[in-house]
Structures are given as C-alpha cells and as structure tokens.
C-alpha cells in the first residue's frame, strides 16, 4: 500500500475517547499536531476535553457523542468528520468495558451489553472506516488485548469479546488484501494497563476489582496506536510480559490453565466494591487516563519500544532466522 501521511497531517477518529487509553491517545495525537474526532457516550467528559484542547489551540479537535454499538451513530461520526475536516485518514477503535464475575453469575443483559460495545463496536467502527477509506487509503487500528490470545477467570466474556475482535480483524485484513484496498489494519494487544477500566467495570465480586501485574501506563498503548496510524503493522503487543504469557499459553496450554487461582487473586483487592454497577450500561467515571492501581506502574515497555523501531525489528528478525538456521544445521 502507498505510504501514509505523517501524523501531523492526519485527521484521526478515536472511539472510547473519554477515558483511559482512548483519552491518552487523543491527548498525544493533538500534542503531535494531528486533528482528532473524539467519540464516546459521555457528553460532559468530551466537552471538558474539547475545552482543554481548544484552550491550547482551536480547531484541532471536535467531539461527537455516540454509542459505538449503534452503527447509524458511527455513520454520523464519519459525516461530522467530513464536515469539520474534510474526512479522516485513520480510525482507531478503543471503546471497551469489562465485567468481573464468574460467567454463570453474570446476567444475559450484561453479557450482551459488553459484546455490543467491545465486539460490535469494533465491527461497526471498522466497517464505517473502510467504507470511507477504501478509495483514498488510510489506517484502521483496533485495540484488542492480550486477552485476544489468552483467557482469564472472572473476566470470561471480556476475553471472549477480545478473541472475537482478533478473528474479525484478521478476516477483514485478508479481505482488504484480496481486493487490493489500501487500508492498513493493525491489532493492538495491551497487557494490564493502569486505566480506570477496573473501577468502571460491572462487578459481581465481593471485592474491588484489579489487574494482574506488571502494569503499564496508558501512554505506552497510545504510542503504539499512533505508530500504527503512520506505519501499519499486523499486530503490536504492549508489554513484554503479555507476549511472554501468550507464548507460554501457546506452548503449554494445560499448564497455563493451572494459573487460574493466581490470576483470580490478582484480580481482586481487599476493599469492598465501590460501584458494582460501573459504566457498562451508562457513562460514568470518565475524564481520566489513569486508574488507581496501588502498586508500581511501568513507565515504558522495552519490548514494545524495540518492536516499534524498524531497525531493531529487522535485527531481531534476522537474529532469530540465523539462530534457527544454526540450530537446524546442528541437528542435521
């Protein structure tokens, strides 16, 4: 596909823009000169961010209140982007929520709402984006998770939704390649990130939810997203620990399953739940990039940063090829 515009010349649509990774990506993109269309359900949080951005330089962003589970609403986002900026060059699907609780405890209504946001929100955004980018080209970035490869107890439907996002993204990429459509498609796979996701979760547990360490800053995911907007990659893991765990599960799935009690322990704090309803069905608790993880938060991921450097990537790939060839030669 032809090279994409530099970041400062792009207009980027970002869903889930009122909180966590989405909000961190909005701020980083604007700081680096891009124009941004912010999309989320929370009008107040979007308006507050709009005012903050406008105070630093008007005309760099607009916001559109929309539920990603509504395809028509996202068609409206594309129209607003065209009216304000003449269209868009990249679309980033970040919107997502989670539920803590054993699968049989969770109501059908809650299961369906999560899939409507996490999976169908990604499908809707992707198809709207491709319809507008298929002739001129651009980038589509879907935020999956290390849970696109793994399963965790107590977040079963979240894992199912992220598995579905991966399958959809891979199939869409193949179909675009088959039809020679110049849209780069990247799947981002973050590991545990210090965002308000646990605090905004629907919680069926008796304790406040948490995430298993190591924990990374949301800005580390934003770096990977904005890299993919200019230099599309098939997939990018954010956090070397997530990649290592994914490889371990692929190598020894039965052994991985035995980690369930350990993972479950890390997913719960000692405190009682603060807001069991969370933001699953209605916007709540938006406006912050960071959560309140009480432990150490990694500033950067050496693994991820090395992978985003094309020189380092080439060296690592060449080294791996040479090592494999040497090993094969010795065996022969």
The ranges assigned to domains in the chain are: 7-300
Q: Measure the CA–CA gap between 155 and 152, rounded to whole angstroms.
A: 6
> Residue 180, by phi and psi: left (phi above 0), alpha (psi -120 to 50) or beta?
left
Q: Which residues are catalytic?
A: 158
pTM of the model: 0.91
Are 87 and 62 within 8 A, CB to CB? no
Peptide bond into 284 cis (omega under 30): no
Please, what sign has the CA dihedral across residues 234, 239, 240, 244?
Answer: negative
Convert the pLDDT of each residue in 123-160 to its tens digit: 999 999 999 999 999 999 999 999 999 999 999 999 99
Within 8 A by CB and 6+ apart from 64, the residues are 37, 38, 39, 46, 76, 77, 80
**According to the model, what pLDDT value does residue 310 have?**
57
**According to the model, what pLDDT value does residue 311 have?**
53
Residues in the chain: 332
Q: Measure the CA–CA gap between 95 and 18, rounded to whole angstroms.
A: 9
- Residue spans of the chain under pLDDT 70: 2, 58-59, 310-332
Q: Which one of 3.20.20.70, 3.60.40.10, 3.40.50.740, 3.40.50.720 gives the CATH number of domain 7-300? A: 3.40.50.720
């Amino acid at each position: 596909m032809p090279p994409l515009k530099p970041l400062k010349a792009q207009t980027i649509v970002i869903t889930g823009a009122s909180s966590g990774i989405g909000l961190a990506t909005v701020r980083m993109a604007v700081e680096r000169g891009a124009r941004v269309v912010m999309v989320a359900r929370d009008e107040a949080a979007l308006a507050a961010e709009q005012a903050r951005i406008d105070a630093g330089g008007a005309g760099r962003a607009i916001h559109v209140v929309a539920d990603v589970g509504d395809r028509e609403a996202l068609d409206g986002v594309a129209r607003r982007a065209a009216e304000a900026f003449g269209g868009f060059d990249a679309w980033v699907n970040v919107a997502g929520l989670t539920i803590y609780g054993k699968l049989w405890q969770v109501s059908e209504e809650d299961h369906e709402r999560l899939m409507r946001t996490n999976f169908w929100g990604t499908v809707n955004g992707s198809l709207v984006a491709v319809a507008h980018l298929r002739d001129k080209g651009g980038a589509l970035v879907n935020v999956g998770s290390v849970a696109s490869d793994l399963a965790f107890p107590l977040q079963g439907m979240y894992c199912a939704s992220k598995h579905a996002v991966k399958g959809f993204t891979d199939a869409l990429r193949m179909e675009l390649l088959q039809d020679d459509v110049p849209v780069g498609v990247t799947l981002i796979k973050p590991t545990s990130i210090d965002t308000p996701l646990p605090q905004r979760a629907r919680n069926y547990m008796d304790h406040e939810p948490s995430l298993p360490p190591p924990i990374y800053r949301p800005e580390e995911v934003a770096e990977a997203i904005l890299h993919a907007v200019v230099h599309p990659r098939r997939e990018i893991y954010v956090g070397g620990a997530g990649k290592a765990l994914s490889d371990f599960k692929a190598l020894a799935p039965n052994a991985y399953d035995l980690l369930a009690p350990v993972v479950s322990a890390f997913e719960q704090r000692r405190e009682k739940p603060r807001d069991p309803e969370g933001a699953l069905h209605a916007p709540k608790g938006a406006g912050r990039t960071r959560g309140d993880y009480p432990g150490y938060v990694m500033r950067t991921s050496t693994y991820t940063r090395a992978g985003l450097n094309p020189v380092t990537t080439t060296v690592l790939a060449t080294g791996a090829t040479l090592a494999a060839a040497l090993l094969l030669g010795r065996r022969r």
